[in-house]
Chains A and B, each alone.
Chain A
Amino acid sequence: MPRTRIVIPDEIDHISILDEEGNLDSGLEPDISDETLLRLHHFMLLGRRFDERLLSLQRQGRVGTFAPISGQEATQLGAAAILRPSDWLVPAFRETAAELWRGRSMESVILYFNGYAEGVDIPEDRNDFPISVPVGSQILHAVGVAWSIRYRGKDDVALAFFGDGATSQGDFHEGLNFAGVYEIPAIFVCQNNQWAISVPRKHQTRSETLAQKAIAYGIKGVQVDGNDVLAVYAAASEAAQRARSGGGATFIECVTYRMSVHTTADDPRRYRSDEEVELWQKRDPLNRFQKYLTAKGLMSDEKIEMAENTVKEEIQAAVDRAEERMKTPGDPLYMFEHAYAQMPPHLIEQREYLARELSEQKKG
Chain B
Amino acid sequence: MPKMTMVQSLNLALRQEMEKDDRVIVLGEDVGLDGGVFRVTDGLFQHFGAQRSVDTPLAEAAIVGMSIGMAAYGLRPVCEIQFSGFSYQAFHQIENHAARLRWRSRGRFSVPMVMRTPCSGGVRALEHHSESREAYYAHTPGLKMVIPSGPRNARALLVSAIRDPDPVIFYEPKSLYRAFREEVPEEEEAIPIGTSQIVREGSDITIISYGPMMRPTLEAASVLKEKDGIEAEVIDLLTISPLDDALFTASVRKTGRAVIVHEAPRSFGPGAEVVSKIMEKSFYYLEAPIARVAGFDVIVPLFNRENAYLPNADRILREARQVLAA
Do A and B truly interact? yes
A residues at B contact (CB < 8 Å): 64-66, 93, 112, 114-117, 119, 133-137, 165-166, 168-171, 196-199, 203-205, 263, 265-266, 270-271, 329-330, 332, 334-336, 339, 346-347, 350, 354, 357-358
Beyond A335-B296, A347-B298, list 4 extra A-B contacts (CB 8 Å). Answer: A66-B126, A112-B302, A168-B57, A330-B304
Give chain B nearest CB distance to A228 CB in angstroms: 26
Closest to A131 in B: B127
**Contact assessment for B37 and A197 in the assembled complex, using a CB-CB cutoff below 8 Å:** yes
Q: Please give, as numbers and ranges, the residues of chain B lying within 8 Å of A350 by CB-CB distance.
A: 266, 296-298
Q: How far is the CA of A271 from the CA of B35 in the complex (A)?
A: 10
**Contact assessment for A205 and B128 in the assembled complex, using a CB-CB cutoff below 8 Å:** no
**Contact assessment for B305 and A199 in the assembled complex, using a CB-CB cutoff below 8 Å:** no
**Contact assessment for B297 and A199 in the assembled complex, using a CB-CB cutoff below 8 Å:** no
**Contact assessment for B57 and A335 in the assembled complex, using a CB-CB cutoff below 8 Å:** no
Q: How far is the CA of A265 from the CA of B55 in the complex (A)?
A: 19
Which residue of B128, B297, B314, B315 has the most chain A CB atoms within 10 A of its CB atom? B297
Q: How far is the CA of A65 from the CA of B124 in the complex (A)?
A: 8
Total chain B interface residues with beta-carbon distance under 8 A: 39
Q: Please give, as numbers and ranges, the residues of chain A lying within 8 Å of B304 by CB-CB distance.
A: 114-117, 329-330
**Contact assessment for A270 and B299 in the assembled complex, using a CB-CB cutoff below 8 Å:** no
**Contact assessment for B303 and A169 in the assembled complex, using a CB-CB cutoff below 8 Å:** no
Interface string of B274-312 (1 = CB under 8 A from A): 000000000000000000000011110111111011000
Closest to A93 in B: B126
Q: What are 8 A-B interface contacts by the 8 Å CB criterion? A: A169-B58, A196-B29, A198-B33, A203-B57, A270-B33, A270-B35, A330-B304, A357-B315
**Contact assessment for B59 and A203 in the assembled complex, using a CB-CB cutoff below 8 Å:** no
Closest to A326 in B: B304
Q: Please give, as numbers and ranges, the residues of chain B lying within 8 Å of A336 by CB-CB distance.
A: 296, 298
**Contact assessment for A332 and B308 in the assembled complex, using a CB-CB cutoff below 8 Å:** yes
Q: Please give, as numbers and ranges, the residues of chain A lying within 8 Å of B303 by CB-CB distance.
A: 64, 115
Which residue of B34, B297, B304, B318 has the most chain A CB atoms within 10 A of its CB atom? B304
Give chain B nearest CB distance to A246 CB in angstroms: 33
Interface string of B306-326 (1 = CB under 8 A from A): 101100001100100000000
Q: Please give, as numbers and ranges, the residues of chain A lying within 8 Å of B314 by CB-CB distance.
A: 357
Q: How far is the CA of A168 from the CA of B29 in the complex (A)?
A: 11
The answer to whether the Cβ of B61 comes within 8 Å of any Cβ in the partner chain is yes
Which residue of B89, B266, B306 has the most chain A CB atoms within 10 A of its CB atom? B89
Interface string of B116-132 (1 = CB under 8 A from A): 00000000111111000
Q: Please give, as numbers and ranges, the residues of chain B lying within 8 Å of A358 by CB-CB distance.
A: 308
Which residues, 217 to 273 on B, are CB-close (under 8 Å) to A? 266-267
**Contact assessment for B34 and A198 in the assembled complex, using a CB-CB cutoff below 8 Å:** yes
Closest to A337 in B: B298
Give chain A nearest CB distance to B299 CB in angstroms: 7
Give chain B nearest CB distance to A80 CB in angstroms: 22
The answer to whether the Cβ of B86 comes within 8 Å of any Cβ in the partner chain is yes
**Contact assessment for B61 and A168 in the assembled complex, using a CB-CB cutoff below 8 Å:** no
Which residues, 22 to 69 on B, are CB-close (under 8 Å) to A? 29-30, 32-35, 37, 55, 57-59, 61-62
Give chain A nearest CB distance to B191 CB in angstroms: 31
Give chain A nearest CB distance to B35 CB in angstroms: 7
Q: Please give, as numbers and ranges, the residues of chain B lying within 8 Å of A137 by CB-CB distance.
A: 89
Contact with B58, one of A115, A117, A135, A270 (Cβ below 8 angstroms):
A135
Q: Please give, as numbers and ranges, the residues of chain B lying within 8 Å of A115 by CB-CB distance.
A: 124, 301-306
Q: How far is the CA of A354 from the CA of B297 in the complex (A)?
A: 12
**Contact assessment for B126 and A65 in the assembled complex, using a CB-CB cutoff below 8 Å:** yes
Closest to A119 in B: B302
Q: Please give, as numbers and ranges, the residues of chain A lying within 8 Å of B296 by CB-CB distance.
A: 335-336, 347, 350, 354
The answer to whether the Cβ of B85 comes within 8 Å of any Cβ in the partner chain is yes
Q: How far is the CA of A329 from the CA of B305 in the complex (A)?
A: 8
**Contact assessment for A134 and B86 in the assembled complex, using a CB-CB cutoff below 8 Å:** yes
Q: How far is the CA of A111 from the CA of B261 in the complex (A)?
A: 32
**Contact assessment for A168 and B124 in the assembled complex, using a CB-CB cutoff below 8 Å:** no
What 8 pairs between A and B have smallest CB-CB spacing? A115-B303, A332-B308, A198-B34, A168-B57, A115-B304, A165-B58, A335-B301, A115-B302
